[in-house]
Structure 1
Amino acid sequence: MGIIRLENVRLYGFHGCLKEEEKIGSDYRVDLEVHADLQKASASDHLEDTVDYVQLQTIIREEMARRTKLIETVAARILDRILEEQRAVTQARVAVSKINPPIGGDVQQVTVELSKNRN
């Protein structure tokens, strides 16, 4: 078993319940961890034997581009697509952070973390 991580993926998005968030947008950070059997890839040195992290980043980018009110929804969509499209992944964890959220205080970020196992 092995782990692949994409850390500190920085994006701009328009998620939130406030009208201002829909118009102005915010900075976001996504951290992803996937578990898969990486033994074959480590021996073969072939991309088709591993989880393509370019595709993982594409999934993150595409789902972050779809506006939602809740970052919980974005996180769930990312996990669902990874498990659907990346058959080698057995487990995934994603953390979506809204940087400087408009919550009436000095808060660096709010983070939602979800994980999901392949059934």
Structure 2
Amino acid sequence: MGTVHVENIKVYARHGCLPEETIIGSDYLVTIQVKTNLSRAAVSDNLADTVDYVHINKIVEEEMAVPSKLLEHVAKRIGDRLFNEIPMVKKSKISVSKINPPMNGDVEKVTIVLKSKR
């Protein structure tokens, strides 16, 4: 078993419960970690034998473009697509962070983490 880790994909999106969040939008960071068998790819040196991180990035960008009230909902959609589109993925860990969330306080970011397995 091995891990493919795509860190801090920066995306501008329009998520949130407040109406202005879906109008103004904000910056987000998404980190994806997937567990898969990497032994074949380590020998073959063939992209078809591993999880393509370009595909992961595409899924993140497409799902982040669909507004949601909750970060948990976005993370679930990303995870569902990872499992549906990349059969090699056995487990996933998805972190979605909202940078500078609109709240009373000096908060750098809020992050949710969703773990799933087949």
TM-score category, normalised to shorter length? over 0.9
Post-superposition shift, 1:103? 1.2
SS in 2 for 1:79: helix
Any unmatched runs of 5+ in structure 2?
none
1:112 and 2:74 are equivalent in the alignment: no
Q: Between Structure 1 and Structure 2, how many residues are aligned? A: 118
The residue that corresponds to 2:25 in the other structure is 25
Q: How far apart, CA to CA, are the structure 2 residues paired with 1:87 and 1:67?
A: 26
Identity %: 50
Aligned to 2:50: 50
CA distance in 2, matches of 1:12, 1:104: 22
With normalisation by structure 1, the TM-score equals 0.98
Alignment TM-score, normalising by the size of structure 2: 0.98
CA distance in 2, matches of 1:86, 1:92: 11
Taking the aligned partners of 2:45 and 2:109, their CA distance within structure 1 comes to: 38
Q: CA RMSD in A?
A: 0.5
Alignment of 1:6 with 2:6, yes or no, is yes
Q: Distance in 1 between matches of 2:114 and 2:47?
A: 27
Partners of 1:103 and 1:81 lie apart in 2 by 31
Per-residue deviation, 1:19: 1.0
